[in-house]
Structure 1
Amino acid sequence: MTSGFRIRMTGRAIDESHRVSSPLELLFDLTFVVAIAQVSAQLAHQTEEGHALDALGPYLMVFFAIWWAWMNFTWFASAYDTDDVPYRLTTMVQMGGVLVLAAGVPSAFEDQNFTAIVIGYLIMRVGLVSQWIRAAIEHPEGRTTAIRYAVGISVVQVGWVSRLALPAEWGGWTFIVLALLDLSVPLWAERTGMTTWHAHHIAERYGLFTIIVLGESVSAATIGVQGALANDGFSGELVVIAAAGLVLLFALWWLYFLEPAAAGLTKRRNRSFYWGYGHYFVFGSLAAIGAGLEVAVQRGTAHAEVTAAGIGYSVAIPVALFLVLLWVLHAPLVPEVVIQPVKTVIAVVLVLLLPLAAGLIGLGGVIIGIALVTAALVAATLIDLAVRASRAAA
C-alpha cells in the first residue's frame, strides 16, 4: 500500500534490498495479456490461411508497439516508482492506452490500419511523459536526463501521429525510421547520466513478462484445442500435439530461468541496453510459438492452405530463434553461460530439421520432436550444473 498521497519522486537506490515487482506493476502487466492475445490470434489466423509471411510485417510492427510501451514503463518504474496517488493515476492512463492499442490489432493485420494503435500509443505517451516531467521537477540530480526523455518521447510521438496522414505505401520505411528514433531516445537521454534502475528488479520484471507471453501461448493452444474439438471431435493426435505443446512451453520456461540475468546486469550495467532491447525478439518469438501451436493443435493441414511442414516451421523457427537468443543475450553479461553453446547449436539444428520429416512422422511427430529436443537441452544443462557443483565441492 502507498505510504502517502504524494511522495517526492527521487531516484531509487540501485542496491535496494528485497526489491520486487509491486502490485501495481503486476496489474499493469495484465493489460498486456489482452494485447498479446490479439496479436498472437491474428498471426495464427494468417498462418492457417497460408499467409504467414504476409503477416510477418504487421506482426513485428504491432509487437514492437506492445513491447516498447511495456519497456518504457518498466525501466522508469525501476528508477522512480513512488507508488503514491499521482503515480498510480498516471499508470492507469498508460493502462488505458494499452487496451486501446489491443483493440486496434485486428485492423492493423486485416486492413493495415494503425489508427487505433497510434491513438493507444499516444495515450500511453501522455502518461509516461507526465511522469518524466514530474521526475525532472522533483529529482534535480536526474533533471537533465528526465527532460531529455520527456522531449525525445514527445518529438517521436509527433512523428507517429503524423505518419497516419502519409500514403499507405510509405508505411514500411516510415515505421522503421520512427522505431529507430524511439529506440534512440534512451541512448541519447542517458548520455547525461543513467537512471537508477535496479538490476534484480529489472531481471524479475523481464522474467514475469516472459511468463505472461508463455501464458498466452498456453491460451492460444487451448483455443486451438477448442477449435479442433468443435470441428473434428476428440482424437489421439489432438491429445499428442497438445501434450507436446505443453512440454515444449514448460521446457522453454525452464531454459529461460536457468540463465542468471540479475547477476550479470548487476556487474555489467553498461550492457543493459543490449540485453533489454534484445528481448524484443525473445518475447516476439515466444508469442509466435503460441500462434504456431494454435494452428498445430487444430490440425491445420486438414483445413488450411498450408502444409504440415509449413505448420511445423511456424513452431520450429521461433523456437530456434529463442534458443539462439538465450546465448546471444546472456553471453556478454556473464563469464560463462549456463546453457552450453555447443548444445544450443545441436538443439537448434535438430529443431529446424524436424519439419522436413513431416511427410514421414506427421505434424504430431514434428511437434513431439521439437518438444523432446528442448526437454533434452534442459536435462543436459541440469546435468552440466550438477557436474560443476560436484567438481566445485571436491
Structure 2
Amino acid sequence: MVNPARIRWQAMRGRDPGEEHRVSTPLELFFDLCFVVAVGQAAAQLHHSLDEGHLGGGLVGYLAVFFAIWWAWMNFTWFASAYDTDDVPYRLLTLLQMAGVLVLAAGVPAAFEHYDFTVVVIGYVLMRIGMICQWLRAAVEHPEGRATTLRYAAGIAVVQVGWVARLWAPGTWAYVTFAVLVVAELAVPAWAEARGRATPWHPEHIAERYGLFTIIVLGEVVLGSLAAVQSVVAEFGASASLIMIAAGGLAIVFVLWWIYFTGGEARLRNLRVALTWGYGHVVVFASIAALGSGIEVAVDTAGHRSHIGEQAAAFAVAVPVALVLIALGALHRLANTGAVRSSAFVAAGAVVVLALPFSTPLLGLGGAVVGMAVAAAATLVANRTGSVESRP
C-alpha cells in the first residue's frame, strides 16, 4: 500500500541506488501503457506502408517516429529511477507527460504520410514541460546533484527549442536538422553526467523497466496480429497458410520473450555500460514492433489483401527477427547475463532467418514464418546452454 503522507509531499532528495526490492510503480506501468498506444500507431502506419509497397518512405517515417517515442520513454524512465517521490507534484507532472504522449500518438499518421511533425512536436513540448519541471525540482531539493540536474534541464530545453525551430526548416534541411537534433538528444545524458555527481539511478530498477516495456511491446505484436488474422478469416475464411503464419508468428513472439529473459540479471556496472545497454534497446523495441507489422503484412498477403508478394512479406518478418536476435545477443554479452555462449550461434540464427524468405516458393509463406520460429528457437537453445554452463 502507498503511504498517504508520502503522496502529499516528499522532498526530491534522490533514491538510494542500492535500495532493495525496488520495483516499478503503478504510475510507471500506466505510463508505459500510454506509450504502447504510440508504438501501436507507429506499427500500424508501417504495416499500411509495407502493404502498399512503400518500403523506403515507410521505414523513414517509422524510424523517425519510433525514435521520438522511445526517447521520451527513456527520459522519463531514467529520471524516475533516480528521483521518483510518488507525491502529488511528481504525479501531476507525470500525468502531463502522459497527455503529451497521447498527443504525440495522434500526430503519428501525419508524420508518416506527409513528414509533418507539428503534432508530434506539440506532444513533445507538453512532455518536456513536465520533464524540465521535474529536473528543476530535483535541482532545488537535491543540492548534492544540482549541477547535474541543471545540465539535464538546460540540455533538454535547448534541444526542444531546436525541434520547434526545425518545423520551419525547408526541403533537405528538414532531414539534416532532424539528424543533428537526434545526435544532440543522445548527447545530453552523457554531457549532463560528465561532471559533478551522477544521478542516483537504480541498476536493478532500470533493468526491470526495460524488461517490462519489452513484454508490453510483445503484447502489442500479439494484439495487432490477432486483429489481422480475425479480419482476414472474417472476409476469406481460414486457410492452411494463414494458420501456419499465425502459429509461426506466435512461436516467434514466445521465443523472443524467452531469449530476452534467458540468463541472469543484467549487470549495469557503470554509466558507460548502462547508457550503451539503454541506447541499444531502441533496436530491440523498434524491431519487435516492426515484427508485428511484418506478421500483419504476411497475414494480408495470405488473404490476398496486400500489394506485395510472398517473398517480400516473408522479409517483412525475417528482417525484424534477425535484428532482434543480433541486438539481444550483443546486449546479453554487454550486461554479462551469462546467456550467450558464442556470438557465432546468434549470427548463425540470424543468417538462417534471413535466408528463409528465399525458400518461400518451395515452403510457402506460412512455412517460411514457421521456419523463422524454429531458427530463433535454435538460437535460444544455444543461449540457454551458455547460460547454464556459465553458472558457478
**For 1:152-205, what per-residue CA distance to the aligned partner results, in whole angstroms no more than 9, with x for missing partners?**
100000000111112143221111101110111111101123111000000000
**For 1:235-267, what per-residue CA distance to the aligned partner results, in whole angstroms no more than 9, with x for missing partners?**
2221211011101001001001114353x11x3
- Which position in structure 2 is the counterpart of 1:163? 166
- Which position in structure 2 is the counterpart of 1:220? 224
Task: Tell me which of 127, 134, 139 is aligned to 2:137.
Answer: 134
8 Å Cα contact 1:227/1:298 also seen in 2? no
Could you tell me how far 1:282 is from its partner in structure 2?
1.1
- Which position in structure 2 is the counterpart of 1:325? 327
8 Å Cα contact 1:228/1:299 also seen in 2? no
Aligned residue for 2:29, secondary structure, equals helix
Could you tell me how far 1:227 is from its partner in structure 2?
2.4
Count of aligned pairs:
388
Could you tell me how far 1:225 is from its partner in structure 2?
0.5
Matches within 5 A, 1:357-376: 357-376=359-378
Cα distance in 1, alignment partners of residues 388 and 7 from structure 2: 48
Matches within 5 A, 1:93-242: 93-192=96-195, 193-242=197-246
- Which position in structure 2 is the counterpart of 1:91? 94
Matches within 5 A, 1:236-275: 236-262=240-266, 264-265=267-268, 267-275=269-277
8 Å Cα contact 2:159/2:185 also seen in 1? yes
Could you tell me how far 1:219 is from its partner in structure 2?
1.3
8 Å Cα contact 2:287/2:324 also seen in 1? yes
Q: TM-score, normalised by structure 1?
A: 0.95
Aligned residue for 1:362, secondary structure, equals helix
Cα distance in 2, alignment partners of residues 317 and 366 from structure 1: 13
Could you tell me how far 1:112 is from its partner in structure 2?
1.3
Could you tell me how far 1:377 is from its partner in structure 2?
2.2
8 Å Cα contact 1:136/1:142 also seen in 2? yes
8 Å Cα contact 2:263/2:337 also seen in 1? no
8 Å Cα contact 2:241/2:364 also seen in 1? no
Pairing 1:18–2:46 present: no
Distance 1:155 1:43, change over 3 A: same
Pick which of 354-363 and 294-303 moved more: 294-303
Could you tell me how far 1:387 is from its partner in structure 2?
5.3
1:319 partner letter: V
**For 1:140-162, what per-residue CA distance to the aligned partner results, in whole angstroms no more than 9, with x for missing partners?**
00000000000110000000011
Pick which of 203-212 and 159-168 moved more: 159-168
**For 1:316-351, what per-residue CA distance to the aligned partner results, in whole angstroms no more than 9, with x for missing partners?**
111111111112223233285435312111111100
Which segments of 5 or more consecutive residues in structure 2 lack a partner in the other structure? none
Could you tell me how far 1:300 is from its partner in structure 2?
5.2
Identity of aligned residues (%): 52
Q: TM-score, normalised by structure 2?
A: 0.95
Could you tell me how far 1:98 is from its partner in structure 2?
0.1
8 Å Cα contact 1:133/1:150 also seen in 2? yes
- Which position in structure 1 is the counterpart of 2:63? 60
Cα distance in 2, alignment partners of residues 49 and 201 from structure 1: 41
**For 1:264-320, what per-residue CA distance to the aligned partner results, in whole angstroms no more than 9, with x for missing partners?**
11x344311111111111111111101000111223572322121111111111111
8 Å Cα contact 2:262/2:339 also seen in 1? no
Cα distance in 1, alignment partners of residues 385 and 334 from structure 2: 23
2:374 partner letter: L
Cα distance in 2, alignment partners of residues 377 and 165 from structure 1: 47
8 Å Cα contact 2:291/2:321 also seen in 1? yes
Pick which of 225-234 and 150-159 moved more: 225-234
8 Å Cα contact 2:101/2:127 also seen in 1? yes
Cα distance in 1, alignment partners of residues 72 and 300 from structure 2: 32
Cα distance in 1, alignment partners of residues 193 and 376 from structure 2: 38
Cα distance in 1, alignment partners of residues 386 and 274 from structure 2: 27
Cα distance in 2, alignment partners of residues 330 and 320 from structure 1: 15
8 Å Cα contact 1:301/1:308 also seen in 2? no
Pairing 1:381–2:383 present: yes
Cα distance in 1, alignment partners of residues 240 and 71 from structure 2: 41
2:156 partner letter: I
Distance 1:77 1:361, change over 3 A: same
8 Å Cα contact 1:301/1:307 also seen in 2? no
- Which position in structure 2 is the counterpart of 1:69? 72
Cα distance in 2, alignment partners of residues 145 and 196 from structure 1: 11
Which segments of 5 or more consecutive residues in structure 1 lack a partner in the other structure? none
- Which position in structure 2 is the counterpart of 1:334? 336
Pick which of 374-383 and 131-140 moved more: 374-383
**For 1:59-102, what per-residue CA distance to the aligned partner results, in whole angstroms no more than 9, with x for missing partners?**
01100010000000000000000000000000000000000000
Pick which of 69-78 and 367-376 moved more: 367-376
Cα distance in 1, alignment partners of residues 200 and 210 from structure 2: 17
Aligned residue for 1:331, secondary structure, equals helix
Q: Name the Cα RMSD after superposition.
A: 1.6
8 Å Cα contact 2:232/2:303 also seen in 1? no
